[in-house]
Amino acid sequence: MTTAVYIRVSSPKGQKIDSQRAELEAWTKRQRIKDVRWFEDRDSATNLQRDAFQTLRSRFN
């Protein structure tokens, strides 16, 4: 089974995806999840047309 992980920050200047990803990678390792598909966006949550979000929805909906 594939596990989808979605990460989003609203602005590339003020927030970092790296710290979120590191925490989630550690969690997936603790849970022994091997098949992980990562989706990352750098856009406002008010924009539902975010590329990675739309890809996630189309593949896992």
pTM of the model: 0.79
Render pLDDT for 27-40 as a digit per residue (tens, 0 to 9).
Answer: 999 999 999 999 99
Return the pLDDT at 28: 97
Render pLDDT for 8-32 as a digit per residue (tens, 0 to 9).
Answer: 987 666 667 888 899 999 999 999 9
Total domains, the chain: 1
Burial of 41 (0-12, 13-18, 19+ CB in 10 A): buried
Render pLDDT for 38-52 as a digit per residue (tens, 0 to 9).
Answer: 999 988 778 888 999
pLDDT class of 5 with cuts at 50, 70, 90: very high
